[in-house]
Structure formats: C-alpha cells, structure tokens
Structure 1
Amino acid sequence: MLLYKLWRSFIKEILLLKRDIGGIVIIFVMPLLLIVTITLIQDSTFKNLEGSKIPVIFIDKDQSEVSKSIKKELENSKTFQLLTNFNEKSAQDAVFSGDYQMAIVIPENLTKDLNSNIDSKVQTIVSSFGIETDSSVEKKTVAKTKEIHLYFDPATNAGFKNSVMNSVNKMVFEIENKKIYKAFQDQLGTTDNLEENKNLISFKEISPKKGDTEIMPNSVQHNVPAWALFAIFFIVVPLSINLVKEKSQGTSVRVRVSPTPYYIHILGKTFTYLIICIIQFLLMVAVGIYLFPYMDLPQFDVTGKMFHLIVVTVFAGLAAIGFGVLLGTLADTQEQSAPFGATSVVVLAAIGGIWVPVFLMPEFMQHVAKFSPMNWGLNAYYDIILRNRGIGGIAKELALLFLFYLAMVTISIFYERKLHNV
C-alpha cells in the first residue's frame, strides 16, 4: 500500500513538472551552456606546452651577454611573445594603459658591471686566502646593484606577477652563479669545462600513471564534476518554488487531510528530483565525452569510473533535494524562496570550492568550506576522477551528504507538523 502511495506521489510530481516545461528545459540547458563556456575559458590555464603566447615588451639597453641570455630563456619558455620595438617610456605607457600585460627593461651596462662586480669580489676572496692573484687583473671598484625594471598592467593577477618575477630571478641567479664560477676558475688557473658543471639538485614531478601513460589533470576533469554539482544543487530553486506553489494552490492542505503520511509526499519529491539530478549529470558527462573533442578540448575520461560517479551524484542529489525541501517548507512566497535559493546555492558553491580552490582561500574560509555539502560532493568526485579511489575511499563524504539530507528532511517534517498542529 505504501509503495502504491509513493508511486502516486511520484506521478503527481511528474504532472506538476509538466506544467512548467520551460523551467525544466532551463534546468538541463543552463548547466550545459555553463560547462562549455567555463571550460573553454579555463582550458588554456591547464595547458602547459601549447596555447596562445602572452605578448611582452622586451627592451634591451645592455645588448650584451647577460641580456641576450635572459632574452633567449624567455623565448625558449614558449610562454611569451617578445616585442622589441618600444623604448622605456612608450613601454610604460602601453602597459599602464592596459594594452600589454607587462614589460621587461634590461638596464645599460648590466653585463659589464656584473662582470666587474664579480671579478672584484672574487679577487678579494682569493687574496684573503693568501693565494697570489693574477696581477694582470686590475682591482675594480664594486659597481652599484643593477635593477631590471618590470612594468605590470595594474589589472594583472598577483599570481602572474609573482610567477614572472620568480622566473626572471631564477634566470639572473643562474647567470650570476656561472659567472662567479668562471671568475674563480680564471683566478685559480683551473681549466674545468664550465658546461660540465650542472646543477647538483634538480626537480622531477612524479605523476600518477595509467599503464605507461602519465595522468595529467586538465580543465575538463575539473569543470565537469564542479559544474555538474552546481547544476545539481540549483534544483533547490524549482523544488522550493514547487512546494510554495502547493501551499498557495491548496495542494498541501489536501495532502495533509489525506491518509498518506507526509513523509511519503517528501519521498515522492525526492525520487522525482533525484532522476532529474542523474539526467543532468549524464548530460554533462555526454558533453565531456562526445562534444568537447570537437571543440579542441580534452575528452572526459570515465573509463571504469561511471558507477562510482553516479553513486556520488545520487548522494549529492539527496543533499540538494533535502536543502530544497527545507527551503520550500520554511518559505511562504515564491519571492522568498527563489532569490534566497539561488543566492544560497551560489554562496555554497563559492564556499565549497567551485569558484575558487579551497587551498587558495584564507585559513578561516578553509575551515568554513569543510561544512559545505558542495565541498563534500566535489571532493568525492575528485577522489574518483583524479585520485582513482573507490567507494571505500569516499565513504566519509557520502555519509556526510546522506546525513545532510536526513537532517534537512527531518527539520522540514517537524516544522510542518508544528505549524499545523494548532
């Protein structure tokens, strides 16, 4: 009997949704447009060796060894396109007006002063050891520290600034080290080949592998689960509006006076909207698998992971439905439920790491993020897609999502009973 009532409740929800076909289309189409747009915009961020180069103004007043080495390194980075037909004043104006991201100005006599400075210091050090220095080397006055000027567009991201400055510092540091080593060789009369003196310490990134192929994260792996989760939680808006409509149209009164328990009414909504969540996710996955390759984007790989991803989708959908039920139960008008629902989903997305990665947030917000159901769902998706974990590895996140659903629905049922037991 209860199963029959649950089935009739499910049919009722389907009939209600059929009255707003436009709204249902938006629920499915909006996330697809969002995921395509965001992935296209962010894709270049995840590409290390390809994509458009950043135009950078490069002014070489030194025209010698050091400046040519810096220029060569910048060109070999395959990140920058160097523009050289500027003077410092025109470069500054172009960058500060936003025409270009940055300009690099190498000062005059950089190589000459650097050599002079190094030779003088090395000669002093060698002499302090009581070693006779080359008498032909004239003692030189220590030159003033030279400054490489970096001009940045005021709107440039701070992370980009730091990255460029660190790269330039590294290049200059390596050039100085080689010159210091060469100066000691000249003073001590050694004949080692400078090119053979490589760095004693280097970095090697160890990435997870699938067979012999390294697994490299890309924009699709991040955006498909993130925006699928955003779409799933956005059903809070139509679900809460649906509940408010039932109040205004008298449907909720008929539900209360019927012999069917109120929780059956909630379960009917849960099953209906859970199907919508799963369809949303499958559409997003289909876009990632079949459409993205035609748009010159990486294909979304779900090999051997589809079942796990659907499990996460079910639990994330339950959390979203629970929140929508609570909001629709508490709200009295559509003017209350719609704006609050949309705003709360955006806030949960921001806190949960959909917009900005959690590790980039202030420490306080990183602690707050741990209480966002979107963060639980996103971590579960990432654990499966990027960290190759199974159901056991995401059990904590699934439990939190389910408990969130139970808590929201329980509060809704008790509030409904208290409101009408007068």
Structure 2
Amino acid sequence: MMYKFFMSVYKEMLLLKRDFGGLVILFVMPLVLIITITLIQDSTFKSVTESRIPILLVDNDKGEISKTVKQNLNESGSFEIVTQIDGVAITETTAKEAVFKGKYQLAIVIPEKLSHDLQLKVNQNVEKIVRNFGLEEASDAPKEKLTITSKEVKLYFDPATQLTFKNAVKGAIDKMISQIETKSIYSTFQDQLGEGDEPVFEQKSFITFKEIVPKVNDKEILPNSVQHNVPAWALFAIFFIVVPLSINIVKEKGQGTQIRLITNPVSYMVVIAGKTVTYLLICMIQFFLMVAVGVYLFPYLGLPTLDVSEKLFLMSIVALFSGLAAIGFGILLGTIAKTQEQSAPFGATSVVILAAIGGVWVPVFAMPKMMQYLSHISPMNWGLNAFYDVLLRNGGLTEILPEINLLLLFFIITVTISIWYDKKKRAV
C-alpha cells in the first residue's frame, strides 16, 4: 500500500514537471497579484490620509461660524480649501456645477447670516430661561421676539464619491456646527450671569474618546494593509489550486490513466492521497513565498513589513489546513466533472465567489446582512478568520481550533463524497 502511495506521489510530480510553465504560473502569478493589490491599496490609503483633498467653500456668512469651519478644515490636515476657480470667486452655482462634473469631490455652502441668526436664536432662548428663573432685573422689559428661520449648510458631493467619504464629511461638519452652537450658548449664559472675566461655565469637553488596542511586549498591534493582503491573497492562491487539480483529474479520466491505475489495482483513495500530498506541498510553497514577500520585499517597496515573529508556526498550520480544504474541493470537482470545459470555468468562478463572500475583497462587516450569513459557509472565511486570530488578535492554537476543525471537516466531507461518487460511477 505504501509503495503504491509513493508511486502515486511520484506520478503527480512527473506530471507537474512536464508542465513546467504551468508550475511557474502557480508560484509567480500569486506573487505578482499580492504585490500589485497591496501597492494599490496602500497608495490609496496614503492618498486619503496623507494628501489634502481640495474642496470648494462658498462663504456667504462671513461670520464666526464660517471662520471656525475654515479653521477646523485647515487644522484637520485632510482638506485644502478652494474659494476661487481660475481667479474668480466661486458661487453656489459654479461650485455645484464643478462638483457635479467631477472636478471636485465636495463643495460646502455656508448660508448668509448664519452666525448672526444663530446668536439671535441663542439670545432668545437664554433670555427666556433667565426670565423664567426670575434672574432678570425688573427694569428689563421683554424684548420683541423675532421669528428666526432655521439655516442649512449645503453639501454638494461628486456623484462618484463613495458613501463612506460622504458619511465621514457629514459627521465632521455636523460635529463642528454642534460645537459652535454649544459654545454660543455657554458664552451667552456667561454674558447674562457671569461677573467679571471669571468663567461661569467650564467649556472643555467632559466626554472624550480613547482607542485601546492590543499590545504585545508593550508595543501596540496596529493593523495595516499587509496584514490583510498577505493572508487573504495567500488563501486565494491556495484555493486556486482547485483549477489545475480538477483539470488533472478530468484529463486522467479522458486519457484512460485512471482505468489503468484501477486495473493495477490501485484504489481511488490511494490516488487521492497521492494528489493530496503533492498539491499540499505546492500550497505550502505558495504560502511561504508570499510570506517571504511580505517580510523581505515589501519594505523595499515602501510598504509595511509583515511581522511574523512567533506567529509563523501557527500561520503555517492555518495554511496547511486551508490547503487541505482547497484540495478536497478540487478533488470533488475533478471527480464529478466530465470535461475540462466543465471543471476549469466552474472551478475558477467558484473560487472567486468563495473569496468574495469570504471577506478577501470586502470585509464581512461591510456586507449586507444576508451576505454576512453566507460568508460563514466559505472555507476562505474560516481560513481568513484564523489568520486574523494569529496576526491581529494575538491568538494561540486554542483560538484557531474551531476554524481548523471546519477546514479539516470540509476536506473529509469532500473527499468522502468523491470516493463514494467514483465507486457509484464504476458500479454502473
């Protein structure tokens, strides 16, 4: 039995050796993919966080609020305020036209008398409160109440602007306006109740936010594009082994190789075992090559270094069981498919779908609820979560056991179905 197993492995090695070009593609293309994707994502991240986005500002207020908005936008370091186009002061009409044509991503229009009317409204409210509490002097006659209409700050977005950017900008502007209103209320109360220059109200924010991140050896674990892309696209490369593996099985059936193996006799289980060991070796080589790129090449490309210190062993375990799951799927597909035209397109498409719903391209939490539930059936999602447990959550073997068990169970189920299907097909 062992002799037949080793001969089966040797046969697979010979087949791969004969198709040297295909073997090179299995190793080179994933490396090109991971380098390209990581460079694109990292440059996109830098363009959002390090460069200043030009935005149009139409200041019809000319008051304290518009001054504060300008100051906060400048201090944020993310925006460059533009008030003129080709030397001509912009209006709401020209700003709207420029944004809707895609020349700028955002235009902010501050309405007239916003600062003046806000102060009037605050004065009315404060005077009413003071009067109701009997703090107003008797000689002070009630002032005639003016009707002050509400104001709106208009935001024009380029139709191609992403929703996340829109929500971030709207949240920041809303926060600015709220702070200005709060400050105006405190200042008005100060004028009504304060004595001298001593402040009556403490205007410093009482509630603040502090981000707490995990630490290892007193160093914060800060996620970056490399920590996602290396495991994610390593998984994608591992699962793409489904295509050549299924084609290999279909080709053996078409050429009669499988019939000759069975008449030796060699059980289908031995054939599967030989393919599993051979292609698992390829998967692990792919994984270590991609880790090596993240550790040694990425720093020379200006990308963050993949930190695998004390984590490589656990990452290798995850890659090993992910490879088993991918091989099981490839064996099942090759066993069921009758032609290469069936196995190749279906294999490639199914891997892309599993990657999409598994969180390789878009984080699972950003998906619709239905897709979040579907993501749990993707082996790539199990592998990716296990990699995250090791790289980002500083998890140990106990934390990744559930995902490893799922990957192993997937391999056992797919191989069992393949053996059963092959026996049933030969019995007919």
Aligned position for 2:55? 56
Question: In 1, are the aligned partners of 2:335 and 2:422 still within 8 Å (CA)?
Answer: yes
Distance 1:37 1:351, change over 3 A: same
Q: Does 1:201 align with 2:200?
A: no
Aligned position for 2:41? 42
Distance 1:151 1:195, change over 3 A: farther
Aligned position for 1:89? 93
**Amino acid corresponding to residue 55 of structure 2 in structure 1:** V
TM-score computed with the length of structure 2 as normaliser: 0.94
Aligned position for 1:177? 182
Aligned position for 1:388? 394
Q: Deviations over 1:105-151 (max 9, x none)?
A: 11121111111111111111211222215949955514211111100
For 1:298 and 1:318, the matched residues in 2 are separated by 30
1:152-231 aligned within 5 A: 152-190=157-195, 191-193=197-199, 196-231=202-237
Question: In 2, are the aligned partners of 1:351 and 1:365 still within 8 Å (CA)?
Answer: yes
SS in 2 for 1:370: helix
Question: In 2, are the aligned partners of 1:331 and 1:337 still within 8 Å (CA)?
Answer: yes
Question: In 2, are the aligned partners of 1:46 and 1:218 still within 8 Å (CA)?
Answer: no
Aligned position for 1:245? 251
Aligned position for 2:112? 108
1:265-414 aligned within 5 A: 265-414=271-420
SS in 2 for 1:108: coil
Distance 1:32 1:332, change over 3 A: same
SS in 2 for 1:271: helix
Question: In 2, are the aligned partners of 1:120 and 1:139 still within 8 Å (CA)?
Answer: no
TM-score computed with the length of structure 1 as normaliser: 0.95
Aligned position for 1:234? 240
Question: In 2, are the aligned partners of 1:182 and 1:194 still within 8 Å (CA)?
Answer: no
Q: Does 1:17 align with 2:16?
A: yes
SS in 2 for 1:355: coil
Q: Deviations over 1:226-259 (max 9, x none)?
A: 1111111011011101111111111111111112
1:211 to partner: Cα distance: 2.4
1:196 to partner: Cα distance: 4.9
For 1:295 and 1:157, the matched residues in 2 are separated by 28
SS in 1 for 2:325: helix
For 2:395 and 2:191, the matched residues in 1 are separated by 58
For 2:170 and 2:44, the matched residues in 1 are separated by 19
1:182 to partner: Cα distance: 0.6
Q: Does 1:141 align with 2:146?
A: yes
**Amino acid corresponding to residue 95 of structure 1 in structure 2:** V
Aligned position for 2:87? none
1:347 to partner: Cα distance: 0.7
**Amino acid corresponding to residue 13 of structure 1 in structure 2:** E
For 2:21 and 2:143, the matched residues in 1 are separated by 85
Identity of aligned residues (%): 58
**Amino acid corresponding to residue 103 of structure 1 in structure 2:** A
For 1:303 and 1:317, the matched residues in 2 are separated by 22
For 1:409 and 1:227, the matched residues in 2 are separated by 25
Q: How many residues align?
A: 421
For 1:48 and 1:188, the matched residues in 2 are separated by 49
Question: In 1, are the aligned partners of 2:12 and 2:275 still within 8 Å (CA)?
Answer: yes
For 1:338 and 1:26, the matched residues in 2 are separated by 16
**Amino acid corresponding to residue 21 of structure 1 in structure 2:** F
1:21 to partner: Cα distance: 1.9
Question: In 1, are the aligned partners of 2:41 and 2:225 still within 8 Å (CA)?
Answer: yes
RMSD: 1.9
1:414 to partner: Cα distance: 0.8
1:353 to partner: Cα distance: 1.0
1:343 to partner: Cα distance: 0.5
Aligned position for 1:131? 135
